[in-house]
Structure 1
Amino acid sequence: MQGGQSVGERSVSHGGAGLAEACDWLTARTAAAPGSIAVAIEVPHGPVVEALLERGFQVYAINPKQLDRFRDRFSVAGAKDDRRDAHVLAERLKLVKRQVKSAHRHLETLCDRLAAEESEPGQGAGQRDVTILRSMPGTGRIVIATLLAEAWQPLCRRDYHALRTLAGVAPVTLRSGKRCLVARRYACNRRLANALYHWARVASQRDVVSRRRYGELRRRGHSHGRALRTIGDRLLAVACTLLQRRTRFDPDYAAMSAAAA
Structure 2
Amino acid sequence: MGIEPLVFVGIDWASTEHQVCLIGADGPVQRVFAHDGDGIGTMVDWLVAKADQPGQVAVAIETPHGPIVEALMDRGIAVFAINPKQLDRFRDRFSPAGAKDDRRGALVLASSLRTGSHWFRRVEALDPVVVELREWSRMAEELKQECVRLTNGVRQQLWRYYPQMLDLTEDVGADWFLALWTKAPTPAEAMRLTETEIAKVLAAHRIRRVTAHDALAILRRPALTVAPGTADAARVHITAVAERLNLVNWQIKTVLQRIDGLVEQLAGPETEPGKIPSSATRQSCAPCRGWEGLSSPRCSRRLIKPSRREITRLCAPSPVWPRSRSRAADPVVWRCVRHVLAACEPSSITGPASQPSTTPAVAAATPPS
Shorter chain as denominator, the TM-score bin is 0.3 to 0.5
Larger Rg: 2
The structure showing larger relative contact order (alpha-carbon pairs under 8 Å, at least 6 residues apart) is 1
TM-score, length-normalised on structure 2? Answer: 0.28
